[in-house]
Chain A
Amino acid sequence: MFKPASPSSDSNPNAQGAVLFKTAVRLRNRASSNATEGVPWIWVCAGALVTILLLITALFGVILSQGLSALWPHAVIKMQNDSTLVIGIPMRQEEGTDPNTNTRQNRRLIYQANRDFGVNEFAFVATEAVAGAERPDDIWFVERSEWGPFLGKILLLNADGTSVSLEKQKLTQMLEDGAQRRKQIHKLEKGKLADLNLDLEELRLEKKKIERMLELGRITDVEAADNNKLLEERFQSLTTEHRKLSEQVQQLRSADEAIKLTLAAENGQTKELAASQILRAFQPNALSTFEKLSLFIARLWGFVSEEPREANTEGGVFPALFGTVAMTIIMTLFVLPIGVMTAVYMREIAKQGMLVSLVRIAVNNLAGVPSIVYGVFGVGFFCYTVGASIDQLLFQEKLPNPTFGTGGILWASLTLALLTVPVVIVSTEEALSAVPRSLREASYGCGATRMQTLWNIVLPKALPGVMTGLILAMARAVGEVAPLLMTGVVKLAPALPVDGHFPFVHLERSFMHLGFHIYDLGFQSRSTELSRPMVFASTSLLVAVVLSLNFIAIKIRSQLRKRFEGRGAF
């Protein structure tokens, strides 16, 4: 057998040649006797590759189909199952045991919605029965702001308490008006009113600060009184404004409450609600394919742009998406300059020797250190050490409530920056070393300094490599969840990390994240079945973001390769 690893063959080329020759002869003899030897192994190898490819296909197939079907308007069926009336959307099929007959059968899960109408949200029905079920056109699918979706009829509630059916056109008009009012109220509450609340909180803190200064003897009683008076005046004016706004909102609300509709479920139960509480209503069985498609797009947009409702199981993922993007951008701001500078230092400035190659190996290895370890470091160092010191220095009036001394978007970004900086360093270094030496020499020859060469010649050449590294780092950061668990991600953040309130970017705030959203919904929510569509939709979104980032990186890299192959003659 051919053994390149044996020391004798390494040290003695003649011996190596002899071994090679002997092996060749032996193989040849065998080959003639059994030329097909090992062919089945090729099948095994191919089988392995096929297994992996099939797994990938299955993975993406499942994610994509489940994710998209979560937003697609599905048909509603109506049927009699034993003695109960089943109205709902057929979901997945599974093999289960029928509790009555105790036989195994194929059955389908039917989502019946109407949580507040005394109906089980989910029911199992034999698969054959579903196929023959009736699909009435007049059933509405209603997305509400509370209590989850509703399936049934929408009636107009008259002033005398009677309900009558109403035309589709009129209903659409009513819902549109309701949406207008809802938006108006929302704008006031989340805009001006929220701002006022923040201002009031700031005043309270300022007051506390004065008290503390007085206690420490840094200001005199007179100064404190003056300051307090000023604060009191501002406080008065703000409270008045607050009251005014609150009243305005209250008026709008009561006006809105007056316009009511009745939801009537097929089981006879009814429920009144304000027209503005209906977010979207459609008759799924009456929709044409084009209408379904446009509805799908509208829901997709809603998914990306709306805030979550009902403990994250409905609505959109906008805050999570926003948090993910914001965190990644902040991380990029750290990772790009630092990573590039380090790579430049290691490749262009430091003396190449034992130490630098050791550091290089260490940096390489750090890319393989588990992300959770970075998380532990992040919480211990950034939150509890650096953050706590910042609090002591700058935010003493808020203590013992931590400001920076707990998880927040800045610390999460920094932790991820540390996690991904090796990726940027390695790829930048590779790109720098791929820049031909001749280019540098030409530049020096023209009298350029080292920095001029670096800035004008080397870095532009290496830019695609740097970009590749950066994008890969971003892709990793977007998908990483473990270190975030402890450095500031939350299930439901009260406010976005960036908003219109001074200083606009709130680095200390905790944030929502798509990956954590998936973990939380898929793993810790009230009902796995209920949150399933949302998790799959979020998963598709996350996978789409990560894969497109990777795809871009791969494209840039192949472009880069071509470019250097083309100009290799330098």
Chain B
Amino acid sequence: MLNTRRRVLILDKFATALITVVGLSVILAVTGMMAFLISSSWPLFESEKFTAAGELKTTGSAAGLLVDDVAPLAVLLPPQSNACRVQAQLIQPPNQKSDEGTAWNFNYAVTRSSPAGENPVWSLNPLSSQAAPQNSDDTVLCRAINNGQLLVRTGQTLTSASVQIVREFLSAEDVRALPTATKTTLTNKRWLVTPEGAVLVKASAQSPIAKLGLQIEGHWELPNFFAENPKLTLEDLNFLSRPGKKDGLLILRTATLEGMAQKRFMLLSISENAITGEKTTHLKQIYLQQLTSDTLSQSERNFPAAWIQDRHVVLYAGNNSFVAFDSEDANLSSTSLVAPVNLGRVMSWTPAFGGAAALTEFRSEQGTSGAQQRCAYLDIGRAIRLASAAANSTSEIPELWRDTCRSAVRTVAHPHKRVAFRITQESEKSALTLEARELTTGRIAAEKDLPAGADLTLESDSHGQLVSWFNNTSKTVELWRFNAPHVEVSLKSLFNKIHYESYETASYSWQSTSGTDEFQSKFSLVPLIWGTFKATLYSLLFAVPLAIFAAVYSSEILDRQTRNVVKPTLEMMASVPSVVLGFLAAIIVAPWVEAHIVSVLLIGTSMPFLLYVFGVFLQIPSARHLTTRGLYASRRLLMWVVLGFGVMLWLLIRAGLLIERTAFGGDLKAFLSGGPGTEGVLWGMLILPLVFISLWSLPVSRARNLFRIAVFVLAPVLAVGVGSLLSGHTELRSDLLGQYAQRNTLVIAIAMGFAIIPIIYSLAEDALTAVPGSLRAGSLACGASVWQTTARVVLPTAASGIFSAIMVGLGRGIGETMIAVMATGNTAVMTTNPFDGLRSMAANIAVELPEAAQGSTHYRILFLSALTLFLFTFTLNSFAEFLRARYRARNKAL
């Protein structure tokens, strides 16, 4: 007995505890959802930082620097006109023990041997790191220009070569083939140098082993260059390689050239690589009359230039002006150059030769006067974006940002990441600042102060993640990690107009992916939010009147028996899966609406008042029936309505087809996209209800019924008349409506309306039924008719409840996914045109999330839109719930 009791008690305690734990954890889990969504989208807005990734003391000096992102390998390239040496060193990460593996510090001499009749062979020959350079071929001089590129002088020959870090990950077989000692070393230490001189790196315990090495490759050569131009040295030259090609633009600094002080010239070197593989080098000289040397500042004298779409070249010509020309123009001469583009004020300019400056676009446009206008859209290192028309144009220069007047000392830009690292300086003497600029919006993502007065060489890896510089004063290479996976996203880029690449103007745009890596993703949430609300509002326009009128009828007038059938039927409609509705909308509704578009418009505008009129003509003028629910409560009325409804529907569809045939040449869609048709009729159809109702309610005392019959003829005529007047003022098809897409807002309004109707109906019906009967009884007892009671007593009382029903409906519409995916065409456009498609947030998530890479910017933005949806609906529902609660409390008081 006692035993059982204790067991029961223990069971009781245990069960209570279990239920409590489960209950609390479910509540926690459910609220945790929001927390998870926030935590997943939060990294988008985290501020970016530079973190130290290593430092290297070195003996050499460098003008160029190469870094690799797997292993901290730094390659120092020779400064100005030195004997050609390349130094490669591993950079010590800040938190590593000092003697991890052999330090790798090798010097290489660049040699170039040219066997007779063959292409020259380039190689890197290791030198002993301790020994001073000796026995090396000191006749080879070279100078680093950028990104591993060297200009090399051997005797009278000028050549170009580039040094690259080659990295390959070892396959499983390769790893197995490694000696055991090597493997052991690699498990304990992070890298080692093989006897062959390659470096094996294992960045962490999980990562695969990478093998690093250096490679040099020659590109082109000009055999007698220095013989022909005896005054020139390597220092006076620069080379700007054409994107994706080996050839490019050879630029000469001519200030040193005597007799040429007023004219600079530059050479275009194109080595044609025909099918035979034969290389021919061709030099072309161009004199730029426009340029004057004395106006250039020190940094400008480097002759900044850039390629645009690997054909056109834009040069900075001093005096805040640019020249642009077509490199493939065979008769290129000074006069055929584009007139200098005056940019007004040049804010700051990238002095580094090549790579840093990137011009996005160059195009010729037909001006309004018919003359060719050439516009250069300049994207100077993507640091400042300037657009300018040709010299004779006065069009303004839109500038994205000019918040800083600091001049840049060095810039490295990453076209794909759209980030530029710049070292800037307020004035000659002030401290240096390293900044990471997001180039689309111009946001400074991160900043870092650098020691003043240092002579710095800036370099970055190919992913825009590592930035390193060589401080020529202290002889150190510093490596910093700029880990900003979502640098292109900020509140501004999500919600403001952005001037994207190759777009004419700033715009809201959503275009998340494309086939190529260079593609600039456009993540603006505005078109999606627009689409969401457009779909919802149009469907509410369809659903709210229907649902509320229906709710009024079934709660106030319909007899109980019928109501008990009708209400569950409508509630059942709420459970029809949205994929079914979406499918039917796309397969059945969309083609039907397309074929009967005028009829649909006509039904939408005329059906309600036609029903009203139908009622007027059929009403029974006996007050006895009207004060009770009597006649109108019966199913007979519904039957009459169905009949009248059917006839009207048929008439309207026919009328629609007739109108389409007579006024729009049989095809409204063609009319909308510019075909023949009468604009006045379209206007007339839209204003028909207004005209009809105003005519109908004219206080005509004599022959009232006759007049009202006449209204049926008068109203359409008058509507078309007024419409024609209006069409002179505003053209409907171009200003308010637009082209017709098969899957459009009208279709989704019908399909989504179908999903929303039962929700609004059910809640509104409940709200109306909850109005105390005493109010109705009082009103009826005072002699008010059923409708008077409904419209003036019941509806105002239930208003807040009905409003809350609409809010819930709105919430459902905002989150509706499958219908939006299937019936809208999913085009992220921002128009009010009901014949246009749209892309809603929910549909966008459904379409794109399965393909978004986990953790990517795209993925997180989709999480952010899910969070936005969550917050929208949660707020709406809470508000509706609050209204309902107040309504209930008040009804109790009544």
Residues of chain A at the chain B interface (Cβ within 8 Å): 1-5, 10, 20, 23-25, 27-28, 30-32, 35-56, 59, 62-63, 95, 104, 337-339, 341-342, 344-346, 349-350, 359, 361-366, 368-377, 379-381, 384, 418, 421-422, 425, 449-452, 454, 472, 475-476, 478-482, 485-486, 515-516, 518-519, 522-523, 528, 532, 535, 539, 542-543, 546-547, 550-551, 554
Task: Report yes or no: B822 in contact with A523, Cβ–Cβ below 8 A.
Answer: yes
What CA separation (Å) do A56 and B26 show in the bound complex? 37
A279 to B549, CA, bound (A): 53
A88 to chain B, nearest CB (A): 21
Known: A44-B608, A451-B11, A542-B577. Contact between A39 and B615, CB under 8 A? Answer: yes
Q: Is the CB of A40 within 8 A of B783?
A: no
The answer on a CB contact under 8 Å between A547 and B572 is: yes
Residues of the A chain whose Cβ atoms lie less than 8 Å from the Cβ of B19: 341, 344-345, 349
CB distance from A30 to the nearest CB of B (A): 7
CB<8 Å pairs between A and B, sample of 26: A2-B779, A10-B893, A27-B782, A27-B792, A28-B782, A35-B626, A35-B785, A38-B788, A39-B632, A43-B637, A47-B611, A47-B641, A48-B548, A48-B550, A49-B553, A52-B570, A53-B566, A364-B877, A365-B874, A372-B815, A425-B26, A451-B11, A451-B15, A452-B8, A472-B575, A486-B850
**Are A372 and B638 also in contact (CB < 8 A) when A349-B16, A359-B27, A377-B36 are?**
no
Query: B552 an interface residue at 8 Å Cβ cutoff?
Result: yes
Cα-based distance from A547 to B574 in the complex (angstroms): 10
- Taking CB atoms, residues of chain A closer than 8 Å to B578 are 479, 481-482
Interface string of B766-785 (1 = CB under 8 A from A): 00000000010011011111
How far is B545's CA from A1's CA once the two chains are assembled, in angstroms?
23
Chain A residues whose CB sits within 8 angstroms of the CB of B22 once the complex forms: 337-338, 341-342, 345
Task: Name the A residues within 8 Å of B557 (CB-CB).
Answer: 42, 45-46
Q: B505: shortest Cβ distance to chain A, in Å? A: 32
> Judging by beta carbons under 8 Å apart, are A364 and B816 in contact?
no
Report the nearest A residue to B546, measured CB to CB. A48
- CA distance in complex: A384, B859 (Å): 12
Q: Which one of A44, A454, A479, A551 lies within 8 Å of B580 (CB-CB)?
A: A479
Q: Are A3 and B796 in contact (CB under 8 A)?
A: yes
Evaluate contact between A37 and B788: CB separation under 8 angstroms.
yes
Q: Does B878 contact A (CB under 8 A)?
A: yes
Q: Is the CB of A341 within 8 A of B18?
A: yes
**Known contacts A376-B37, A486-B850, A475 near B579 by CB under 8 Å:** no
Contacts of A38 in B (CB 8 A): 785-788, 790-791
Closest to A482 in B: B817
Contact B645 A20 (CB under 8 A): no
Which residue on B lies nearest to A381, using beta carbons?
B36
Q: B480 to chain A: which residues have CB within 8 Å?
A: none
- A51's nearest neighbour on chain B, judged by CB, is B546
The 5 closest A-B pairs by CB, nearest first: A370-B815, A345-B23, A38-B787, A479-B577, A43-B615
Specify which chain A residues have a CB less than 8 angstroms from the CB of B791 in the assembled complex: 38, 41
A543 and B576: CB pair below 8 A? yes
Compute how far the CA of A502 lies from the CA of B768 in the bound complex, rounded to whole angstroms: 58
Which listed residue, B623, B808, B842, touches A482 by the CB 8 Å rule? B842
A95–B654 Cα distance when bound, in Å, is: 14
Residues of A within 8 A of B572 (CB): 547, 550-551, 554
* Closest residue of B by beta carbon distance from A377: B33
Query: Known: A39-B787, A341-B19. Is A481-B550 also a contact (CB below 8 A)?
Result: no
Q: Give Cα A59–Cα B800 distance, bound, in whole angstroms.
A: 32
B854 and A384 contacting across the interface, CB-CB below 8 Å: yes
What's the nearest-Cβ distance from chain B to residue A122, in Å?
Answer: 15
B37, B579, B791 — which one has the most chain A CB atoms within 10 A of its CB? Answer: B579
Q: Are B890 and A4 in contact (CB under 8 A)?
A: yes
Instruction: Please report the C-alpha to C-alpha distance between residue A38 and residue B552 in the assembled complex, in whole angstroms.
Output: 13
Contacting residue for B815 out of A10, A364, A373, A547, CB 8 A = A373
Cβ contact within 8 Å between B26 and A32: no
CB distance from B746 to the nearest CB of A (A): 15
Judged by a CB distance under 8 angstroms, whether B430 is at the interface is: no
CB distance from A377 to the nearest CB of B (A): 5
- Select which of B554, B570, B613, B800 is within 8 A of A56 by beta carbon: B570
Which one, B33, B568, B583, B796, contacts A522 given CB within 8 A? B583
Selecting from B123-131, B209-217, B291-299, B862-870, the interface stretch reads: B862-870
Q: Is the CB of A1 within 8 A of B796?
A: yes
Q: Would B845 and A372 count as touching, CB distance under 8 A?
A: yes
B553 engages A481 (CB within 8 Å): no
The interface residues of chain B lying within 8 Å CB-to-CB of A454 are: 15
Taking CB atoms, residues of chain B closer than 8 Å to A486 are 846, 849-850
**Which residue of chain B has the shortest Cβ distance to A355 in the bound complex?**
B27
Chain B interface category by residue count:
35 or more
Q: Beyond A42-B632, A341-B19, is A365–B552 a contact (Cβ under 8 Å)? A: no
The interface of chain B, by Cβ under 8 A from chain A, is 8-9, 11-12, 15-16, 18-20, 22-24, 26-27, 29-31, 33, 36-37, 40, 545-550, 552-554, 557-558, 566, 568-573, 575-580, 582-584, 586-588, 595, 607-608, 611-616, 618-619, 621, 623, 626-627, 632, 637-638, 641-642, 645, 666, 754, 757, 761, 775, 778-779, 781-788, 790-793, 796-797, 799-800, 808, 811-812, 814-818, 821-822, 842, 845-846, 849-850, 854, 862-863, 866, 869-870, 873-874, 876-878, 881, 890, 893-894
**Does the CB pair A421–B785 fall under 8 Å?**
no
| Minimum C-beta distance from A559 to chain B (A) | 14
Q: Would you give the shortest CB distance from B862 to chain A, in whole angstroms?
A: 7
Q: A35-B623, A50-B638 are in contact. List 7 more A-B contacts (CB 8 A).
A: A28-B782, A38-B791, A40-B619, A47-B645, A350-B23, A365-B877, A532-B587
Given contacts A349-B16, A384-B854, contact A46 B546 (CB under 8 A): no
A476→B583 contact, CB < 8 A: no
Q: B638 touching A46 by the CB < 8 A rule? A: yes
B546–A39 CB distance below 8 A: no
Shortest CB distance A529–B (Å): 10
Interface pair B619/A36, CB less than 8 Å apart? yes
Q: How far is it, in angstroms, between the C-alpha of A470 and the C-alpha of B618 when the chains are bound?
A: 48
Asked whether A475 and B575 contact (CB < 8 A) given A35-B785, A39-B785, the answer is yes
Q: A362-B30, A515-B577 are in contact. Are A370 and B817 (CB under 8 A)?
A: yes
| Chain B residue nearest in CB terms to A455 | B15
A554 touches B553 (CB 8 A): no
**Is B849's CB under 8 angstroms from A47's CB?**
no
A380 adjacent to B36 (CB under 8 Å): yes
Residue of B15, B608, B783 touching A31 (CB-CB under 8 A): B783
**Neighbouring B residues of A95 by C-beta, 8 Å:** 595
Q: Is the CB of A43 within 8 A of B611?
A: yes
List the A side residues contacting B570 at CB < 8 Å: 52, 56
Measured CA separation A455–B782 after assembly (Å): 54
CB distance from B747 to the nearest CB of A (A): 14
A43 to B614, CA, bound (A): 8
Contact in complex: A49, B550 (CB < 8 Å): yes
Residues of B within 8 A of A346 (CB): 23
How far apart sit A482 and B872, CA to CA, in the bound complex (Å)?
18
Instruction: For the complex, give the distance between the alpha carbons of A543 and B569 in Å.
Output: 14
Find out whether the CB atom of B626 lies under 8 angstroms from the CB atom of A39: yes
Q: A449–B550 contact, CB under 8 A?
A: no
Give complex CA distance A528, B24 in Å: 49
Assess the B815–A30 pair: CB atoms within 8 A: no
| Residues of A close to B577: CB separation below 8 A | 478-481, 515, 542-543, 546
Is there an interface contact between B583 and A518, defined as CB atoms closer than 8 Å? Answer: yes
Which listed residue, A20, A32, A418, touches B30 by the CB 8 Å rule? A418
B554 CB contact (under 8 Å) in A44, A49, A375: A49
Complex-state Cα separation, A32 to B569, whole angstroms: 39
Residues of B within 8 A of A551 (CB): 572
Contact A377/B566 with A39-B626, A479-B576, A482-B818 known, Cβ cut-off 8 Å: no
**How many whole Å from B588's CB to the nearest CB in chain A?**
6
Check A40 against B612 for contact (C-beta < 8 Å): yes
Bound Cα distance from A104 to B657, whole angstroms: 12
Looking at the assembled complex, report how far the CB atom of B539 sits from the nearest CB atom of chain A, in whole angstroms.
13
A519 and B817 contacting across the interface, CB-CB below 8 Å:
no
Q: Which residues of A contact B573 (CB under 8 A)?
A: 52, 56, 59
